[in-house]
Amino acid sequence: MNKKPRVLLLSASSGAGHVRAAQALEKAFAARGDCIVEHVDVIHHVSKVFQRLYDKTYIGMIRRAPELMGLLYKRTDNPWEKMRTRLAVDRLNTQPMIRMLKRVQPDLCIATHFLPGEIIAWLKAKKKLRAHNAVVVTDYDVHAMWLCRTVDRYYVAIPEAAEYLAGIGVPREILRITGIPVDPLFSVPLEQSTARKQLGLDKNAPVILIAAGGYGIGPVEQLVRDLLALQKPWQIVAIAGKSEQVKKKLDDISARAGNLLSGSPRLVPVGFTKEMDQYMAAADLLVGKAGGLTTSEALSRALPMALIEPIPGQEERNADHLLEEGAAIRCNNLPAAAWKIAGLMDDTLRLARMKEAARNLGRPNAAANIAADALKLLS
């Protein structure tokens, strides 16, 4: 009997996007029924020191020193340089991951974070792992940290990323322009009116969706207060993510904000949710960070974006691409953000153009397309 191939998806919870991309791929592979798929967060398979570095330090730097994050991003973005040094450090700290990979011996590995992609490439080069190696880049640009020599596929978000990789020596035949994988739920059409009914939102008022990210990062409370102060006939939905503290503050603001003329609350606070596909279908504008996953989800729902103070580095680059294509505006100064958002909401023609631009960029089937292509490596 022919055994089903074993697919191992490897993410890292140093940022919510890497995990969400792997979860989207897990659903896509499972839906096919022609393979055995497993998702592993490699942060649980590294040394304790490394774990703190990739988890606490990453989130802490974003919160307290984003400029330092941007500087670090630029200083390390030198293609093919210092790869041996980085690999030596990573090998030293990822011995549990290496042992796990040797033990499992999957047929296909797909990494949604550069760390496992690098380790898998090294194991393949040393012939200690037989698996095919695929890397899914979860931002619109490709940072040097994603680069490995022993890779069978690179899946990238946009044509420019593929051209960049080809230009620095990555063989074109291993490049695929698929978009960033989002939950397959985003590929299921959902009318705005239906989504609002399912979520209990106002059926007629314009809806602004504010997303703080999976860890509640961002100037959410101040932005909400500024938008409410404008006394516009909007319903604001604010996603607090995993931050209970942010959710409590939003609840307090909502209690004081009152209702629209229809009786619906002006502010609807939401904690961590698995219904972002519905909230994005219900909204007229997404206000939030420029992470690769969040913006890809929005594009899949043809949802225009107002990007708030993108983190220097990958978020700034993501924002640049979305601005170029006309799917987003950028708010660099928080005190003026509400004013800028109000101007966009009042300009219905511009908002409609941005919605169409987002629709043209959206790749809601990215996860399924990646699964189909990656399994061809085994044939």
pLDDT for 219 equals: 74
Instruction: Give pLDDT tens digits for 87-96.
Output: 998 899 999 9
Domain boundaries, the chain: 6-182+365-376, 185-361
DSSP designation for 217 = -
With beta carbons less than 8 A apart as the criterion, state whether 266 and 257 touch.
yes
Mean per-residue pLDDT, 2-16: 87
Superfamily for the 6-182+365-376 domain = Glycogen Phosphorylase B; (3.40.50.2000)
Q: What is residue 304's predicted lDDT score, i.e. its pLDDT?
A: 98
The domains spanning 6-182+365-376 and 185-361 adopt the same CATH topology: yes
Q: What's the confidence (pLDDT) of residue 215?
A: 45
Structural contact between residues 206 and 233, judged by C-beta atoms closer than 8 angstroms? yes
In single-letter form, the type of residue at position 143 comes to H
pLDDT over 50 (residue 103): yes
The pair phi, psi for residue 155, each rounded to 5°, is -105, 120
User: Residue 207 — left, alpha, or beta (φ > 0 → left; ψ -120 to 50 → alpha)?
Assistant: beta
How would CATH label the architecture of 185-361?
A: 3-Layer(aba) Sandwich (3.40)
CA distance 279 to 239: 10
Q: What's the confidence (pLDDT) of residue 72?
A: 82
- d(CA 211, CA 236) in angstroms, rounded, equals 11
pLDDT at 6 over 50: yes
What percentage of the chain carries pLDDT values higher than 90?
A: 77
125 compared with 309, residue with greater pLDDT: 125
Name the β-bridge partners of 207: 235
C-beta of residue 263 within 8 angstroms of C-beta of residue 251 = no
pLDDT in tens, 197-222: 999 999 999 999 999 654 444 578 89
| Predicted pLDDT at 58 | 66
Backbone angles phi, psi at 330, to 5 degrees: -120, 130
pLDDT of residue 216: 47
Tokens of 283: 């909204």
Q: How confident is the model at residue 53 (pLDDT cuts 50, 70, 90)?
A: confident
The β-bridge partners of 164 are none
pTM (2 decimals)? Answer: 0.93
Residues in the chain: 379
Instruction: Find the mean pLDDT for residues 26-51.
Output: 93
Question: How sure is the predictor about 134, in pLDDT bands with cuts at 50, 70 and 90?
Answer: very high
1 pLDDT more than 50:
no
Contact 187, 365 (CB under 8 A): yes
Which residues, 6+ apart, have CB-to-CB distance to 185 below 8 Å?
277
Mean pLDDT to the nearest integer, 100-122: 95
Strand partners, 286: 209, 305
Q: Determine how many CB atoms are found less than 10 A away from the CB of residue 15.
A: 23
Spatial neighbors of 42 by CB under 8 A, at least 6 apart, are 10, 11, 12, 94, 97, 113, 115, 116
- Any residues with CB less than 8 A from the CB of 53 and at least 6 apart, and which? none
pLDDT tens figures, 262-304: 999 999 999 989 999 999 999 999 999 999 999 999 999 999 9
Q: Which amino acid is at 37?
A: V
Reported as a single tens digit per residue, the pLDDT across 137-165 is 999 999 999 999 999 999 999 999 999 99
Tell me, what's the pLDDT at 2? 59
What span, in angstroms and rounded, lies between the C-alpha atoms of 121 and 39? 18
pLDDT at site 309: 86
Question: Tell me: the pLDDT tens digits for 243-273?
Answer: 888 899 999 999 999 999 999 999 999 998 9
Considering only CA atoms, which of 301, 307, 310, 319 is closest in space to residue 344?
Answer: 307
Question: Do residues 239 and 279 lie in contact, with contact meaning Cβ atoms separated by under 8 Å?
Answer: yes
Is residue 241 pLDDT above 90, yes or no?
A: no
- Provide the angle, in degrees to the nearest 10, between the axes of the packed helices 114-125 and 95-104: 60
**328-378: pLDDT as tens digits:** 999 998 899 999 999 999 999 999 999 999 999 999 999 999 999 999 999
**What DSSP designation does 4 have?**
P
Q: What is the pLDDT of residue 52?
A: 76
